[in-house]
Chains A and B, each alone.
Chain A
Amino acid sequence: MIRFIHVSKEYARGGLALDDVTFHIAKGEFAFLTGPSGAGKSTILKLVYMEELPTEGDVRVAGVHSGQVRRAEIAQLRRKLGVVFQDFRLLEERTAEQNIAFALEVTDAPRASIATKVSRLLTQVGLSSKANALPRELSGGEQQRVAIARALVNDPFVLIADEPTGNLDDRATRGVFQLLRDINAAGTAVLMATHNLELVRRSDYRVIEMNRGQIVYDSSEAATDATVDGRSTPA
């Protein structure tokens, strides 16, 4: 599904963000991406949704290869994956409902299908009573639920979450995390970057730990006694 093959990423002004990273996320898998700030977690996520392209190596996501991808293909790829962020990235002047519908409208989805889909998603994330609320009228946890609903709008095969609970209190964190687990249980893969080691410890999902642009620990490889320096290619 998602495969990084000897990927390095160097930013013009930021230096080397990723240094020869190789890993594979399988269909329907839930994986944490952990490590200190600047370890390269966000860069990995950006490479997955092809906001950035690798300096070296190859990123393959759902059959799209970073080496020969065209801009139009990137737009199509993003309709097959959902992305959520620490800062939610909702449109302030639109209601919860409109924010979700927006993601469908910009892909020229047929109008008739939008309303039913949006209300189903609002129910799924537990916000059917807040459909007409503006983002500023919602709590942080609720805003993140709207963002998650928006990410799910095109039935993605993977949900990419960059510190989704970073701005939330414990209660909201637990709620959002449970929502992500439910989404994963329904078959969507989840790749979640987080600082919250409590969450990581409480669940038994795969953990990929980063430091200084390299994978320093991968629980899936540790379990099968593979090398833990992140340089081996999973089968």
Chain B
Amino acid sequence: MRLTLRETLLAFRRAPLLSALSVMTIAFSLFSLGLFVLVAVNIREALQQVEERVEIRAYIADGTPVEALAAALGDIGAFPEVARADGISQDEALERARAELGEFRDVFDAAFLPASIEVRLKPGFRDPETVSAVAARIRTYPFVDDVRFGEEWVRKLYNIRNLATAAGIILGVAFAAVAIIIIGATIRMAVLARGREISIMRLVGATDGFIRRPFLLEGLAKGILGGILALALTYFAHSLISRTLVATRFFDERIIFAGIAFGALIGLLGSAVSVGRHLRRV
């Protein structure tokens, strides 16, 4: 193990420029990915806040008996998707309207606005399909005039989120592939540069695993360094955006750890593929 560590350090010392270059390319690949993930994290958070406000409003026909309404409220409140269902009387509706909208300040006739049932869904049931399914069920009550749930709006939000996720995955895979190729190329050069040494190691009975170890460690170290550098760059970008444009959230520990682990994985994978292929040739 001592020899392996020494060899790994030696690899950095022997080709400092090349090593720095490969760390930088991993860092920049992960940095671009990091920026994207940062955007995705913030969109996601914004979506979650918006989602919490997703509600279904059922307008009640005038003259509906109070008992029927109370029974319906109980029914709807017991739907598995529903967090809570509140009845809004005509008076309450008017009061709210007057508080929120200036145009209603002079209206005092409660009959002007219909009574309604306000339904909030549980987290996890706020996707467009569930929302419209619940809305359809509420519509079956004979005294329900109309059901509104901002269908278009909910769908659009979800589309944005799906697009963001898909773009993130595609970009992530593409950048990872680029980083793997770059790491592979640097390891290839390192293997070929040390061909003589490797052939001597073989001659005196070093196993393939032993010969491979320093190269794998080299890739791993470069991946971790690249990951940390990318994280620093992303943090810098984040604080710049937060100070000048909009306040954003940074990654939590889980994503930070995952990012560095991803860098390490890229480094390890790139060197493993390359070292396996090129060791056979020297």
Contacts and interface: CB of A to CB of B under 8 A. Distances in A.
Contact of A72 (B199, B202, B207, B211): B207
Given A105-B3, A106-B3, A111-B2, A71 B200 contact: no
Nearest to B197: A91
B66 interface: no
B208 interface: yes
A105 B211 CA distance: 12
Given A105-B3, A106-B3, A71 B208 contact: yes
Residue from B3, B200, B201, B202 whose CB has the most chain A CB atoms within 10 Å: B200
A49 B207 CA distance: 14
A154 B205 contact: yes
A103 B204 contact: yes
Contacts, number: 48
Interface in A102-118: 102-103, 105-108, 111
Residue from B3, B197, B204, B208 whose CB has the most chain A CB atoms within 10 Å: B204
Interface string B204-222: 1111101100000000000
A106 B199 CA distance: 12
B246 interface: no
Given A71-B208, A105-B3, A111-B2, A78 B200 contact: no
Given A106-B3, A111-B2, A89 B210 contact: no
Q: Give the interface residue-count category, chain A.
A: 20 to 34
Interface string B1-45: 011000000000000000000000000000000000000000000
A9 interface: no
Interface residues of B, number: 16
B2 A106 contact: no
B245 interface: no
Nearest to A111: B2
B2 A153 contact: no
B203 interface: yes
Contacts of A49: 203
B25 to A, nearest CB: 28
Contact of A75 (B3, B196, B206): B206
A111 B1 CA distance: 11
A107 B204 contact: yes
A183 B206 CA distance: 24
Contacts of B207: 72, 75
Interface in A48-81: 49, 71-72, 75-79
A89 to B, nearest CB: 6
9 contacts: A72-B207, A75-B205, A76-B205, A89-B203, A91-B200, A103-B205, A106-B205, A107-B205, A111-B2
A43 B152 CA distance: 78
